[in-house]
Structure 1
Amino acid sequence: MRRMDSTANLASSTRAGLSPLLLACLAATWIVWGSTYLAIKFALISFPPFLQMGSRFLVAGLSVLAWMAWRGAAMPTRRQWVHALVVGALMLGGGMGGVAYAEQTVGSGLVVAFIAVVPLMIAALNRLWGIRPGRLELAGIVVGLCGVLMLTQGAGFQASPAGLAAIAIACAAWSLGSVLSQRSLPLAPGLAGFASEMVGGGAVLMVMSALRGEAPQWPPEPAAVAAWAYLVVFGSLIAFNAYMLLLARTSAAVASSYTFVNPVIAMLLGVVVLGEVVTSFEWLAAGVVLVGLVLLFLKPSPKT
């Protein structure tokens, strides 16, 4: 009964529109995660992929837990730690770890195209719980995906079979972890849940790093250290927690809308920071992504 009441409250709040907090969370996942493409590129100068991602999430998660312990806040229970480990292993270990491995042999265009399929995968998995996206929401997902495919047309579509398998597994693991955190494996309330998930997923990534024999360049380049610190604070502490909060309080399609916006943000940063040239076709593709977002937010899907 309590779960039904909370779901009803969630539905009514979603129909009423997004609160300022949720709008800020959307901005974080759209803009900050869009900028992490560039930050990861700089951090890779000194920090290998699994080590880079595992250490950033471990530092972020442990920092939050230490702050909560200092304030005397409640810590996750044993059962909640188990949930956090499973969800963290899927979303961070399988999801981000798979992307990190794939990026060694898969072109960036294909990586972005695969990640843009995540909202459809989440929608399909949600059908197992009897939850279906509305027509406008589904149309927004399809139009947004088309815009991303247009944006990445012909850009870096070289790949190895192992890289393709890794990115496919990464998208499936991220989608499954996102759905399970909503439906079957609830985390501890608030920051404790997000922090425990980052610690669990970060630990899995560090094990993967050790198995691959990764080691950082020493001394690391200052630019790599600055990029790693940016990923800890903005990519993990802010944007990842914002995504988990969106999953808890909005539809999965809204929460995963970052997959459409991030390539556009990365494109704009390439123009501003790296002086890249954007063609008229790429601007058209960005406009198609915008249309998909308008459809996605025009009428929220009903909750069950």
Structure 2
Amino acid sequence: MMGPLGLYSAVVLIWGSTWIAIKFQLSVAPELAVAYRFVLAAVILMVWCFIRRLPMRYTLRDHGFMAGLGICLFSFNYVLIYIASIHLTSGLLAVVFSSIVIMNMINGAIFFKRRPETRTLIGAAIGLGGIMLVFARDLVAFDFAAGGSIGLLASLAGSYIASLGNMASARNQARGIPVLQANAFGMMYGSVLLLGYILVTGIPFTFDTSPSFIAALIYLALFGSVLAFGFYLTLLGKIGPDRAAYSSVMFPVVALLLSTWFEGFVWDRNIVLGVGLTLLGNIVILTKRMPKPVLAATVAASSVVTSGVNPGEADGQ
């Protein structure tokens, strides 16, 4: 079974590169791009569960929480992220998403009664200040019709919804539901609900057959969704949602480097200082003393949860 360091590294490298891949999906409506991605990911996971003959019988309440996981982490949060990517470079989008560290801290206190330490609050304040500095010009001239403002609001909303998905995953793992099965059902429910939304709203179905779109779709579905979410949510089960989100310390760096190379992203003083503060804030949180797990049961759950992607590491999955 991969340890926390291996899981952390895999998440950073994969998710650091998915932000640029999203740009190649914008030739169709964001809702369609997300639906295609998670339909394919759900099919891959369901087929794997069938081949492995994994247990798939859960209570109606458990299915409700897995549906909540799908809505928050595998569908509508990404629609907002894709919308934001129309207005922001992939690197800046990753920086905003790193605010999930702060959001997980807040939601952990709300849902699991975890009181944040003083060091965590200081780190959160530094990170939030960094994000505000990066978007200082947009905040000063805030306009709901301006692209930068739309991108900032959409990315923050998508990040918060994703944080709620983290809470649902923590609950599912505390209940002993393996990450693989939870992700399979979650992606299935999320994509079905999103397809229903597309049908109700009358968004026309289109598909881009270009090699770049198809390559990005496969990469995002297999690596960015099946593998990375398996790694990330397993990490979440091992060390809790706020510490699992520490992958955001490094994947914005990967995303910014790729954005500089592929999108011609230009660094100015505000961005350099803001990104530095954002990462520093996350590091301040990261270096605190290891907290207790979100729920006592999470310890037991994490001992039987694997990423669900390594055929040689299955134990009950």
Instruction: Classify 1:233/1:110 alpha carbon distance in 2 versus 1 (closer, same or farther; 3 Å).
Output: closer
* Matched-pair contact (CA < 8 Å) for 1:87–1:180: yes
- Structure 2: runs of 5+ lacking an equivalent: 295-317
* Matched-pair contact (CA < 8 Å) for 2:67–2:190: yes
Write the letter of the residue equivalent to 1:150.
Answer: L
Indicate the residue corresponding to 2:5 in structure 1. 23
- Structure 1: runs of 5+ lacking an equivalent: 1-18
Write the letter of the residue equivalent to 1:178.
Answer: N
Instruction: Classify 1:258/1:90 alpha carbon distance in 2 versus 1 (closer, same or farther; 3 Å).
Output: same
Q: Secondary structure at the match of 2:74?
A: helix
Write the letter of the residue equivalent to 1:205.
Answer: L
| Alignment match of 1:142 (pick from 125, 136, 144) | 125
| 1: CA distance, partners of 2:233 / 2:52 | 22
What does 1:171-210 correspond to in 2, within 5 Å?
171-183=159-171, 186=175, 188-210=177-199
Instruction: Classify 1:190/1:177 alpha carbon distance in 2 versus 1 (closer, same or farther; 3 Å).
Output: closer
Indicate the residue corresponding to 1:86 in structure 2. 68
Indicate the residue corresponding to 1:253 in structure 2. 242
Cα drift, residue 295 of structure 1:
1.8
Instruction: Classify 1:173/1:285 alpha carbon distance in 2 versus 1 (closer, same or farther; 3 Å).
Output: closer
Indicate the residue corresponding to 1:215 in structure 2. 205
In the alignment of these two chains, the number of paired residues is 283
* Matched-pair contact (CA < 8 Å) for 1:83–1:186: no
Which segment drifts farther, 47-56 or 185-194? 185-194
Cα drift, residue 103 of structure 1:
4.6
* Matched-pair contact (CA < 8 Å) for 1:55–1:206: no
TM-score scaled by structure 2?
A: 0.75
| Alignment match of 1:234 (pick from 217, 223, 226) | 223
Instruction: Classify 1:75/1:84 alpha carbon distance in 2 versus 1 (closer, same or farther; 3 Å).
Output: same
Write the letter of the residue equivalent to 2:185.
Answer: S
Cα drift, residue 40 of structure 1:
0.8
* Matched-pair contact (CA < 8 Å) for 1:116–1:145: no
* Matched-pair contact (CA < 8 Å) for 2:107–2:164: yes
| Alignment match of 2:145 (pick from 160, 175, 180) | 160
| 1: CA distance, partners of 2:88 / 2:266 | 19
* Matched-pair contact (CA < 8 Å) for 2:68–2:168: no
Instruction: Classify 1:209/1:300 alpha carbon distance in 2 versus 1 (closer, same or farther; 3 Å).
Output: farther
| 1: CA distance, partners of 2:206 / 2:6 | 34
* Matched-pair contact (CA < 8 Å) for 1:84–1:196: yes
Write the letter of the residue equivalent to 1:61.
Answer: A
* Matched-pair contact (CA < 8 Å) for 2:81–2:154: yes
Instruction: Classify 1:201/1:40 alpha carbon distance in 2 versus 1 (closer, same or farther; 3 Å).
Output: same
Instruction: Classify 1:66/1:125 alpha carbon distance in 2 versus 1 (closer, same or farther; 3 Å).
Output: same
Cα drift, residue 166 of structure 1:
5.0
Identity value in percent: 26
Instruction: Classify 1:134/1:251 alpha carbon distance in 2 versus 1 (closer, same or farther; 3 Å).
Output: farther
TM-score scaled by structure 1?
A: 0.78
Indicate the residue corresponding to 1:6 in structure 2. none
Cα drift, residue 188 of structure 1:
2.4
* Matched-pair contact (CA < 8 Å) for 1:99–1:166: yes
Instruction: Classify 1:160/1:262 alpha carbon distance in 2 versus 1 (closer, same or farther; 3 Å).
Output: farther
Cα drift, residue 223 of structure 1:
0.9
Indicate the residue corresponding to 1:72 in structure 2. 53
